[in-house]
Structure 1
Amino acid sequence: MITVKNNPVGNTDSGAETQDVLLAEKPDRRMLSYVPNEDGLRSNHDRRGALEDDENRPIDYNLYQQEDKRGKRYLVDYEVTVKIAAQTGKRTFVGRAVDISATGMLLKFPREDTEYIHKAEQVQLNFVITPGSMPEGYEMKIKNLKARCVRLVKKEDGTLLCGLEFMDTLAQYATRKRQNYLLGAAAFCLCIITFVIIMMRAESVVYFRFNRWLYLYSIIAATFLLSRYFFAIFYRPVPIDADYTPGVTVIIPCFNEENWIKRTIYSCINQDYPADKLEVIVVDDHSNDNSVERIKEAIAEIKAADTESGIYHTDTRIRYIVQPVNKGKRDAMAVGAVEAQHELLVFVDSDSFLDPFAVRNIVQPFKDKAMGGVSGRTDVANTYTNALTRMQSVRYYIAFRVMKAAESYFDSVTCLSGPLSCYRRDLVLKYADAWLNQKFLGQRATFGDDRSMTNFILRHNRTAYQDSAVCATIVPNSYTVFLKQQMRWKRSWLRESLIAGRFIWRKEPFMSLSFYMGLVVPIAAPVIVLYNLIYVPVMHRVFPITFLVGMLLMALLMSMAQLFLRRSSTWLFGMWFCFYYEAVLLWQMPVAWFTFWKSTWGTRMTPADLAELEKKRREKEQKEAKKKHASQK
């Protein structure tokens, strides 16, 4: 686990600082450790021990990726108790873990007599994997895990470093010790929750004539939600074809992202993808912080790492562009699209970090010539920072793995998300002018670029979701910034959903019906909540037990799905998100109805935000001047 001290994402309050908790991966001594070279002198397949590059056998990328994830090491600082059953009797030592993977760990001991560990055929380990020190799902208490010493190194300061290999992987241990029970319990709860929801909606049908609109809404809401979970069950990502490697240009639009942009650039260039078919373009939208300096540093370091051999051609595969004035994210993306040399465009947000296999996975659906765009999966990078980021982690996972997966079943994903998405370049250029100059009810659209481009693509092409293409993004860690972000998203959702409603009926019938249900539910929700929680108790003196039970069931459905699909301890925060949504986020929707025209982002100082601040400053000065003038009279 690593704690990164930085300003909150888009924080506009001067001097405010928070600490984001991120996974601390053990760095590879090679900066481009995943890039396959063209001369075959070093294969990224055999050097990681996953499998050998055999001309007679195609690469099994599923196995390769699994082995790579199991072998990925994370820097930690655990206290570990080691038990040894030796001929001279039982011995117990206490050391500290330096790094850990799913298959082993490196321990540090201050005492030299721990060479008994090296001689022992097997040892038992006891320690606790703290949340945030390994990927979600690994947090647990380890008791009597069997391991063996594979190497022992004596340091000059007298400490010993002992490399231990687990006899069972941590995933196998978790399955044996707890996950079978948790998964069984989660599956049972999902079945019970679904059954109860269906029974409650059946009751709505029975009593439909007493309150048609209320019961109609409850039927629509339940049908929409349960259908998404149902179709997500049948979703499968497109498997990797090792021979399918179309040309890809990764475009990173950047504005005021000095904290994360270097890490983003490194992750985009260090991809398991043919070097001659991947380029990276960073477009800085005239940042007013140190983003450009960080971009230059990152590119210089990457090129310096390839100076001697030149086998990765980084001198021609990565470059940056700085906009002369701030024109907005869409313009930055369009500039990158025009400069791109390849047929597919991968857009990556400047605070998002790609998995090394993200590009290879996200291009696979494009084997279908009718495919216009694909969204990858976005995980939360700073999950364990606080309760807010944990809540968002659950929300992100369900939004992608359930909601987008269900839409992808019909090849009609309605939002190819900004952190990681891929488009055909010819389509982006085709719609570029209309996209850049988009207006809605006379107002220029300045955000919601991902939903807007998706609408252009979805009109005549298919869109999909690729769960195996993964990135991790930094989410807001303060409620102030989070609420501003959610307001912006609701405005763009409302605008683009109304636009999509004009043509989505041409798609698959059930998908179209589901879309319109998903449009009605959140728009009408504030009225329904007021009716059930205020009007009914006050006017009819009836406690809204049925409505509250329904809310609880919806919250449990999300939480149990998180537990079942991800095995993560964050599942409890799914319930917290649902209650927070009903209490707070829901009431942003009426505001969004009447402020859709606003062009400010709220989470970062774009020109529109600066103009808004200047306007508020002038209004404040005028009020103070009037008060002063009135007091003088």
Structure 2
Amino acid sequence: MTLLYSLAAVLFWGLAFVVFYTYLGYGIVIWVLVRLRRGHATPPTEPTEPLPSVTMIVPAYNERDYLPAKLDNCLAQTYPADKLNLLFVIEGSTDGSAEYLASRQADIPGLAVLSGTERLGKIVAMNRAMEQVSTDITIFTDANTTLNLEAISRLVARFAPASVGAVTGEKRISTEGKESAAGSGEGLYWRYESFLKKMDAQLYTIVGAAGELFAVRTALYEPVEPDTLLDDFIISLRIAQRGYRVEYAPDAYALERPSHSVDEETKRKVRIATGGFQAIRRLAPLLSVGRYGWLSFQYISHRVLRWAVTPFCLPLLLLLNLLLLTNPAGSMLWTAMFWAQVLFYLAAGVGYILENRQTRWKLTFVPFYFVFMNVCVLAGFIRYQRGGLSGKWEKSRRAI
């Protein structure tokens, strides 16, 4: 029995280290590495002449309510209008999107619309749309987001080094005091993600673009499998796999509201997690640190551990802790660790109960969102194992 308890203790601390490294340790390590290792020079924030031509692709399935604001936001960009083309992809929409965009085409020469009666899915639509693009750079952005007016210029500026193959903007969540725990937790999560992305970019490359706003050199785009769930992630990592860097432009941002409710956020998170397992399988070569060096180190630390390892560690930690409590020679440490976990999960439970109430007690937001994300990953793993995945749009309601 003594050997059993010893093994359980070693495994407990090993798993605890993995959890710590995944969510906090990697941030510390990469911060130190950036300061010890000479990273990349500060990227330019303004494009240089001659300005490249740009096509902005906006996938918009049944987004009629957002189209007027999105179109006006695109037209208000500071990038020269004669260098900017707009391509709205609305295949399968049944809410009047096609009619509205057609009514605007007469006044907007650079506006093109890819429509159709059959809903083939976002990836198929994007692959078809890219066949029509002849500009130097292609920018993807969601219909329900608002871009800062300098977004296109700042994305384009980051392509100045020939080593840059893609650029991702920053996703920002617009939250208010009345938001649910899901909304507030989402905002905290993305602020921490922004810090990690800044560090990633300074060390070597971003590992995964934000689908709300990212750009690629058109010549580097590779058609994506029709059932792909995380197209932005796959597209950007395959470009990085070919030796190009994915740069980060935090001064080019897409602002959107948080999910309408925990149910809506759950649907979105489970889909992302399912796509994460799908992506890990399709990007299996990137697990070779010997072959891809810094890219693999960042990819494993920032993505693989978070999606495929840590969520499975959490329940094991609790079970191992329960086993270690039965050790007659056990110390008070195991009791303290056990109650620390219990209190953390109780706080998450309180956060869940309060998730739709107007409360400013944000103490429970972090534990709630942490547990919520990991439960969604486990649900995503089950969904991935069942198969039958589809790349069609699955809209999540956003807060008003």
Same fold by TM-score, threshold 0.5 exceeded? Answer: yes
Structure 2 CA distance for aligned equivalents of residues 472 and 265 of structure 1: 15
Give the 3-state SS of the residue equivalent to 1:503 in structure 2: helix
SS at match of 2:169: strand
> What do residues 460-487 of structure 1 show as CA deviations (whole Å, max 9, x unaligned)?
1221211111111233211111101100
2:11 maps to which of 199, 202, 213: 213
Structure 2, unmatched stretches of 5+, are: 327-333, 348-358
Identical columns (%):
17
Deviation of 1:531 (Å): 3.2
* Residue identity opposite 2:378 in structure 1: P
Asked if 2 retains the 8 angstrom alpha-carbon contact of 1:232 and 1:405, the reply is: no
Corresponding position: 1:227 with 2:227 = no
CA distance 1:531–1:447, shift in 2 (3 Å): closer
Structure 1 230/540 Cα, relative in aligned 2: closer, same or farther at 3 Å? Answer: closer
Partners of 1:476 and 1:450 lie apart in 2 by 20
SS at match of 2:64: coil
**Aligned match of 1:626:** none
Instruction: Note the alpha carbon deviations across 1:95-135, whole angstroms, 9 max, x for none.
Output: xxxxxxxxxxxxxxxxxxxxxxxxxxxxxxxxxxxxxxxxx
Deviation string 1:228-285 (CA, Å, 9 cap, x unpaired) is 2554585986232453432111111110112212211211121111222111111112
- For the 8 Å contact 1:376–1:470, the answer to whether it is kept is yes
Q: CA deviation at 1:416?
A: 1.1
Q: Which residue in 2 is equivalent to 1:604? A: 395
Offset at residue 364 of structure 1 (A): 1.6
- 2: CA distance, partners of 1:365 / 1:521: 28
Partner of 1:558: none
* Partner SS state of residue 366, structure 1: coil
Q: What is the aligned partner in structure 1 of residue 130 from structure 2?
A: 337
Secondary structure class of the residue paired with 2:14: helix
In structure 1, the partner of 2:337 is 545
Contact 1:265 1:298 in 2 (8 A): no
Query: What are the within-5 Å matches in structure 2 for residues 479-498 of structure 1?
Result: 479-498=262-281
- Are 2:159 and 1:371 equivalent residues in the alignment? no
What is the DSSP-based 3-state SS (H/G/I as helix, E as strand, rest coil) of the residue aligned with 1:422? strand
Tell me which protein shows more helix as a share of its residues: 2
Q: Which amino acid in the other structure matches residue 12 of structure 2? A: L
1:456 aligns with 2:261: no
CA separation in 2, counterparts of 1:411 and 1:266?
35
Q: 1:248·1:277 contact (CA, 8 Å) conserved in 2?
A: yes
* Code of the aligned partner of 1:599: L
CA distance in 2 between partners of 1:452 and 1:267 (Å): 27
Q: Which has the higher contact order (CA 8 A, sep 6+)?
A: 2
Check whether the contact 1:394–1:571 (CA below 8 A) recurs between aligned residues. no
Structure 1 residue runs of 5 or longer lacking an equivalent are 1-206, 304-313, 438-444, 556-569, 606-633
Alignment of 1:244-259 (within 5 A): 244=49, 245-259=51-65
Q: Conserved in 1, the CA contact under 8 Å of 2:87 and 2:113?
A: yes
- Cα 1:208/1:420, change in 2 over 3 Å: farther
Does residue 1:389 correspond to 2:197, yes or no?
A: no
Determine which of 53, 59, 71 is the counterpart of 1:265: 71
Deviations 1:268-313 (A, max 9, x none): 121111222111111112212233234345556xx2xxxxxxxxxx
Q: Which of 353, 366, 372 is the equivalent residue of 1:578?
A: 366
Distance 2:152 2:318 in 1: 48
Higher mean C-alpha displacement, 388-397 vs 277-286: 388-397
Counterpart of 1:347, as a letter, is: F
Q: Which has the higher Rg, Structure 1 or Structure 2?
A: 1
Indicate conservation of the 8 Å contact 1:485/1:602, yes or no: no
Residues 1:551 and 1:578: Cα distance change in structure 2 (over 3 Å): farther
Name whichever structure is richer in strand by fraction.
1
- What amino acid maps onto 1:332 in structure 2? A
Q: Is the 8 A contact 1:349 1:418 kept in 2?
A: yes
Residues 318 and 341, structure 2, Cα contact 8 Å, conserved in 1: no
Equivalent of 1:536 in 321, 338, 362: 321
2:252 corresponds in structure 1 to: 469
Q: Helix, strand or coil: the match of 1:409? A: helix
Tell me, in whole angstroms, the C-alpha distance in 2 between the residues paired with 1:396 and 1:389.
11
**CA offset digits 1:143-194 (Å, max 9, x no partner):** xxxxxxxxxxxxxxxxxxxxxxxxxxxxxxxxxxxxxxxxxxxxxxxxxxxx
CA RMSD of the aligned region, Å? 3.3
Cα distance between partner residues in 2 of 1:277 and 1:453: 24
* 2:309 aligned partner: 524
Counterpart Cα distance in 1 of 2:104 and 2:126: 20
Q: Which amino acid aligns with 2:314?
A: V
The CA deviation at 1:495 is 1.6
| Deviation by residue 1:194-232 (Cα, 9 ceiling, x = unmatched) | xxxxxxxxxxxxx99763332223333333433325545
- Deviation of the 1:353 alpha carbon: 1.5
Return the TM-score normalized by structure 2: 0.78
- Is contact 2:16–2:317 with CA below 8 Å preserved after alignment? no
Residue 239 of structure 1 aligns to which amino acid in structure 2? P
Q: How many residues align?
A: 357
Asked if 1 retains the 8 angstrom alpha-carbon contact of 2:167 and 2:248, the reply is: yes
**Alpha-carbon shift at residue 412 of structure 1 (Å):** 2.6
Alpha-carbon offset, residue 521 of structure 1: 4.8
